[in-house]
Structure 1
Amino acid sequence: MSRLAPLQPPYAPEIQQQFDRIMRGAPPLVLFRTIARSPRAWEKFSAGGLLDRGPLSLREREIVIDRTCARTGCEYEWGVHIAAFAAAARLTDEQVRATVLGEATDPCWSVAEQALIAAVDALHLRATLSDTEFAALSEHYDEAKILEIMLLCGFYRTVSYLANGLALPLEASAARFPERT
């Protein structure tokens, strides 16, 4: 049970319009319905501008989001993204598992993806990148992509705070964290 009850339909027309735009016809997520209880919080959250694809490929974007959510222990958002985007991002079962249980150096990732995951891990652990980590990232990603990576890490850390702090129930169609074997 969520610590705050999510909005129930019918939604205010402007909220319904935003849900429709973001969800593309699917029912709105519990996360969105809960944040939308506060018009100010919903406005700030939805205006964050990171709910679109941006300069990263879908695969790069999903690796950043999935790893950030895994590092913050946010099974809610990780599961939503795996269910909705892992196949389209061409993430293998091994890679999906590695977003939660793997290391940046795992051989299932390309060299560019290893640098990407190392950057996500560094930002999570230290809220900064070393010169070496930034240089490794810069070998594969331009300035716009590096900024997007950092913004996505921060945005999805915020999403994780919301989902975890509100104790949101997992979406029925979402994936679940893999078990350690």
Structure 2
Amino acid sequence: MSRITPLEPPYEAEIQSQFDRIMRGAPPLMLFRVMASNARAWEKFRAGSLLDRGPLDLREREIVIDRTCALTGCEYEWGVHVTTFAQAAGLTEAEIRATVREGAGAPCWSAPERALISAVDALHARATLSDDEFAALSSHYDDAKIFEIILLCGFYRTVSYLANGLRLPLEEKTARFPKG
């Protein structure tokens, strides 16, 4: 059970409307129900405005999110994203596994994806990019995409802090980290 009690239905009309917009009619995730139990936290979370697609394509976005969540040990959010978006993003089983177990050196990644994952790893480890890491990233991605990559890393690190720190139970039918 979560360390903070999630909202239970029926939800206030405004909250229900927000859940419907984010979840497209599916039941709200535990994360959203817990966050919405605190009006200020929920508003700040939604104000992050990174729940939309942005300039990255779905595959790039999901690689950034999956790798960030894997590095923070956030099986909750990693599983939600893999279950919801991996197929549409064209991620193979080997690539999904590599987000957790291998990283940028896995042979399944293209050169742009290796630069992308290396940037995620650097931001996670050092909260910065070296000149070489930035040059590798910028050789494949424009400024708008670089901003989005950095913002997504920070946003999903925060999401990971929330899910891990509040000990959110894993969603029932979501993916789990690959073994070994």
Task: Determine the structure 2 residue equivalent to 1:153.
Answer: 153
For 2:146 and 2:82, the matched residues in 1 are separated by 23
Q: What residue is the counterpart of 1:129 in the other structure? A: 129
Structure 2 residue aligned with 1:65: 65
**2:79 matched to which residue of 1?**
79
**Structure 2: which amino acid aligns with 1:65?**
I
Over aligned residue pairs, what C-alpha RMSD do you find? 0.5
Partners of 1:121 and 1:13 in 2: how far apart?
40
Write the distance in 2 (CA, Å) between the matches of 1:81 and 1:154.
Answer: 16
Determine whether 1:46 maps to 2:46. Answer: yes
Aligned residues: percent identity?
A: 74
Q: Which amino acid is 1:156 matched to?
A: Y
Q: Normalized against structure 2, the TM-score is what?
A: 0.99
Measure the CA separation in 2 of the matches of 1:105 and 1:116: 12
Check if 1:31 corresponds to 2:31: yes
Indicate the structure with greater helix content.
Answer: 2
1:69-148 matches, within 5 Å, as 69-148=69-148
Runs of 4+ in 1 over 6 A off after TM superposition: none
Moved more, 39-48 or 61-70: 39-48
Distance between the aligned counterparts of 1:158 and 1:104, measured in 2? 22
Aligned to 1:166: 166
Q: CA deviation at 1:145?
A: 0.1
| Structure 1 residue 5, shift from structure 2 partner | 1.1
Structure 1 residue runs without a partner (length 5+)? none
Q: In the aligned structure 1, how far is the partner of 2:37 from the partner of 2:47?
A: 16
Count residues in correspondence. Answer: 180
Q: Equivalents in 2 of 1:21, 1:172: separation in Å?
A: 22
Write the letter of the residue equivalent to 1:101: R
- d(CA) in 2 for partners of 1:23, 1:47: 16
